[in-house]
Copies of this chain bind each other. A is one copy, B any other.
Amino acid sequence: MYTIGQLCDKAAISRGTLLYYDQIGLLKPSTRTAANYRCYSEQDLEKLRQICLYRETGMPLTKIRQILESAEDDTDLILGKHLQNLNQSMRKLQIQRQIIERLTVDKEIMPSEPGLTKDIFIEVLYKTGLNDIQLAKLHCEFERSFPEEHQVFLELLGMPGTEIARIRENCSK
């Protein structure tokens, strides 16, 4: 049996979080002492570990509750839906980054995170020994086999939409 403080230490989680989970009924302590202290059992700890694991995926607590309460069959479905949400968020962030780049006056001042760019890839491919013809072929093979992924990849390199369209157009000719 753990008091709330002991459980905080065990699970490396804050007291406020535990109080909140109790309040919304996500994780209630299995017992209380005579003095009304919360008593958490080993199973409670195990359930908390589960909750924390799902929480690390950014899943909202309502979904986590569904997973814990339902049969295992639903778990993958809920996870899959959540993955789609994450992908959606990624796309949103990429668009936001592009808008920032357009808004920036002085490009020099921007902190250059290790971000993938067109120039980096071209340089690496040249150094590996590829020539322009092979580079063009690379694009075409990419476009033919995985058109959607090709689009995603070019966006990721920070290319504007018009240039991407032009490249893909050239490939399909």
Contacts and interface: CB of A to CB of B under 8 A. Distances in A.
Contacts of A109: 76-77, 80
21 contacts: A76-B104, A76-B110, A77-B109, A79-B100, A81-B111, A82-B100, A83-B100, A86-B97, A90-B93, A114-B148, A114-B149, A115-B149, A116-B153, A120-B145, A120-B146, A124-B141, A124-B145, A127-B145, A128-B134, A128-B141, A129-B137
A12 to B, nearest CB: 16
Contacts of A141: 124, 127-128
Nearest to A138: B128
Given A82-B100, A123-B145, 6 more contacts: A57-B103, A80-B104, A120-B145, A120-B149, A124-B142, A128-B141
Chain A interface size, under 10 / 10 to 19 / 20 to 34 / 35 or more: 35 or more
Identical copies in the complex: 2
Contacts of A54: 103
A15 B127 CA distance: 56
Interface of A: 53-54, 56-58, 72, 75-77, 79-84, 86-87, 89-90, 92-97, 99-100, 103-106, 109-111, 113-116, 120, 123-125, 127-129, 134, 137-138, 141-142, 145-146, 148-149, 151-153, 156
A106 B145 contact: no
